Chains A and B, each alone.
Chain A
Amino acid sequence: MKIAVLIKQVPDTDDVRMDAEKGTMVREGKGAIVNPLDLNALQAALDLKELLPEGTEVAVLSMGPPRAHEALRECLSMGADRGILLTDRLFAGSDTWATGKVLAAAIEKEGPFDLILAGEKATDGETGQVGPEVAALLDIPFSTYVSGLTLAGGGVEVRRTVEGGVQRQRLPFPCLLTVLHALNDPTMPTLRGKKRARRAEIPSLGGADLGLSPHETGLEGSATRVVKIGYPTLARNTEMYGEGRLDEGIERLVAILRERAVL
């Protein structure tokens, strides 16, 4: 079985802190990690490989700046077989659709793959759109919010955790799934894996390699434009009730619960 895992390098959320004066949240933008849910996607691929070691190959693909090879290397150290970096100056400013076009082209070039796995969403953009968009561009069946996954005769059976419960679906290969944290617990890289990853070659492909015209990718190939970024203030005016005034505070809270019609 050939499996592709789509991974994204995102800013490390450890670096998020609050600006005490403005009361807004700020990002330091130093560290970068593999998007946490993408590690669940990778783990699902590695679990399938353990189940079917014969002929199973796990490829990780990432579109990003040159430094995103670090993220691919981390995936190799966890057990992925090969990494492919999709990088090109012309990819800069891509929205989810433009990103989807690059990933879909890379999947076609490096494939065929039976199964494509992605995270449900990335912690930076938080759109969760790239997975379904890639599936639509490739015209393959897909499912989302996957919290359970088993192989079932030429395809997969999945559990999707949605509002009100769990939906079960069956999809034939090739298909694409976006996965949730609940699916599994990603393992740590092994020492052997790290060594292997350090030596591994990670090829880079640009737009021309993928047969994409400059109009299809990056800012030019995007339908949406960010026109403004704002940092809202989080701090509120707090009514404080401390020792000796707690009863008063509780009464105030009860009154507010009434006012807001939740009581």
Chain B
Amino acid sequence: MADKRRSKEKFFVVGEVRRGRLAPLCRELAGKARQLADSAGGEVTVILLSDRLAEDPETLFSSGADRVMVVEHPSLALYNQEIETNVLAFLLKKENPAVVLAGATTSGRTTLPALAARLETGLTADCTGLEMEEETGQLLQTRPAIGGNVMATIRTPSHRPQMATVRPRTFPLPPASERQGEVLFPWIPPSLFESRVENLGFEEGDEGGGNIQDMDVVVSGGKGLKRPDGFGMLRELAALLGGGVGASRPVVDAKWIDYPHQVGLSGKVVAPKVYIAAGISGSVQHMAGMQTAEFVAAINRDPEAPIFRVADLGLCGDLFEILPRLIERIREEKRKP
């Protein structure tokens, strides 16, 4: 049994743990890796690095993991790019996997390139599609560029592992299964926990905490809001829907709202369940940042505004009438039992 398993292709997921808790992407990627491994007869391992896990790693079996490797060390309390790279390079060199997946978060997008260079292999950034090619058994990695307006399919023909970062919330969470597995605590040479990078602290703040890239709903405003205080309505609407506020570039340039809220080519690319654009004309640069939203509603008084082309629902009229009415209706709905 053990021997047979050793000959299987290995699919690895680099999980993410924040304050002892597993980020949802652990499950999402375990599920995706399971699907890929099944088509290649492989096995799935999730690696978790943290100072101390507050959750039971066995919960990942039901998402598709055959093994969970837990590395706990006090130096992992805050993200440390150097220690993560050291530890992962050590483990992966021994395990020699076919595929390694990680989240395209700030941590994944920092550790994985360094890791790939260390392992002398390629890395595909920010994938939104992954599948095993039947004829070759290779991983086909599809990723958007220029804000999703170009889709590139990429292969890693002869270097191993085949590595990819995946945008969180790209794949559905896998349904729970009855799968069982093992939890391992691999030995790591203590020197690998030493780092030239010293962590001085972490300040929680709105800038990232309200990161619109993590939100299910983004309500954005543009020059059609006329004045900075136009964002008041949008904040209210966003709060009612548990979402965040976005903006087009000119209103950020005019300092009506801060840069972290800018959506588009030179701002953030968002992919929420619902995107509501109010008073935004729909420049290509703006659309580069929001067209991957699942559902788009646009409010604009100009019926020719390009934003309507990429919208599922268009409300053509004055936003100063429409938004208050919409907010009022949502309030009513929320009061309903």
Q: Smallest Cβ distance from B108 to chain A, in angstroms?
A: 11
Q: Is the CB of B315 within 8 A of A250?
A: yes
Query: Given A97-B122, A224-B124, A241-B316, are A165 and B202 also a contact pair (CB < 8 Å)?
Result: yes
Identify which of B149, B274, B314 contacts A239 (C-beta below 8 A): B314
Give the contact stretch, choosing among A81-89, A193-201, A229-237.
A229-237
Report whether B153 and A165 are in contact in the complex, using a CB–CB cutoff of 8 Å.
no
- Inside 8 A of A166's CB, which chain B residues have their CB? 202-203, 205, 207-208
Bound form: Cα–Cα A222–B317 in Å = 52
Q: How far is the CA of A124 from the CA of B265 in the complex (A)?
A: 10
CA distance A239 to B315 in the complex (A): 9
**What is the distance, in angstroms, from A145's C-beta to the closest C-beta of chain B?**
5
Q: Does B176 contact A (CB under 8 A)?
A: no
Cα distance A134–B297 when bound, in Å? Answer: 42
- B106: CB under 8 A from chain A? yes
**B104-121, CB < 8 A from A:** 105-107, 109-118, 120-121
Residue from B117, B122, B326 in contact with A224 in the complex, judged by beta carbons closer than 8 Å: B122
- A2 beta carbon closer than 8 Å to chain B: no
Q: Nearest CB to that of A170 among chain B residues?
A: B198
The answer on a CB contact under 8 Å between B152 and A228 is yes
The reply to whether B150 and A168 form a contact with Cβ atoms under 8 Å apart is no
CB <8 Å contact, A16 and B152: no
- Cβ of A190 within 8 Å of any chain B Cβ, yes or no, is no
A253 to chain B, nearest CB (A): 6
How far is it, in angstroms, between the C-alpha of A144 and the C-alpha of B81 when the chains are bound?
A: 9
Is B230 in the interface zone, CB < 8 Å from A? no
Task: List chain A residues, Cβ under 8 A from B274.
Answer: 256-257, 260, 262
Chain B: minimal CB distance from A163 (Å): 5
**Chain A residue, CB-CB nearest to B148:** A232
Residues on B with beta carbons closer than 8 Å to the beta carbon of A24:
149
* B170 on interface, CB distance cutoff 8 Å: no
B276-315: CB near A (< 8 Å → 1, else 0) gives 0000000011011001001111000001001011111111
What is the total number of residues of chain B having a CB less than 8 Å from a CB of chain A?
Answer: 99
The residue on A at minimum CB distance from B124 is A224
0/1 per residue, A220-263, Cβ < 8 Å to B?
00111111111110111111111100110111111011101011
Closest to A163 in B: B208
**A236 CB → nearest B CB, Å:** 5
Interface segment, one of A52-60, A135-143, A202-210: A135-143
- Say if the beta carbon of B64 comes within 8 Å of chain A: no
Q: Residues of A contacting B76 with CB < 8 Å?
A: none
Binary A-proximity of B114-150 (CB < 8 A = 1, otherwise 0): 1111101111111000000000000010000111111
A31 within 8 A of B: no
Interface pair B333/A254, CB less than 8 Å apart: yes
Question: By the criterion CB–CB under 8 Å, are B265 and A127 in contact?
Answer: no
User: Shortest Cβ distance from B196 into chain A, in angstroms?
Assistant: 4
Chain A residues 105-134 with CB under 8 Å of chain B are 123-133
Specify which of A225, A246, A262 is in contact with B315 (CB 8 Å cutoff): A246
A263's contact among B82, B148, B241, by CB below 8 Å, is which? B241
Cα(A224)–Cα(B114), bound, Å: 16
| Residue in A136, A161, A253 whose beta carbon sits within 8 Å of that of B207 in the complex | A161
| Cross-chain pairs A/B with CB under 8 angstroms, 6 sampled | A16-B285, A165-B204, A224-B155, A227-B140, A246-B321, A256-B313
The 8 closest A-B pairs by CB, nearest first: A223-B122, A25-B149, A224-B122, A136-B117, A223-B159, A132-B113, A129-B113, A127-B125
Task: Please report B residues at the A interface, Cβ cutoff 8 Å.
Answer: 18, 78-79, 81-82, 85, 105-107, 109-118, 120-126, 140, 145-159, 195-205, 207-209, 211, 214, 216-217, 240-243, 259-260, 265-266, 273-274, 284-285, 287-288, 291, 294-297, 303, 306, 308-317, 321-322, 325-326, 329-330, 333-334
Give 10 new A-B contacts, CB below 8 A, not counting A161-B208, A240-B314. A13-B265, A16-B265, A25-B288, A127-B113, A137-B117, A143-B81, A170-B200, A236-B309, A236-B312, A249-B314
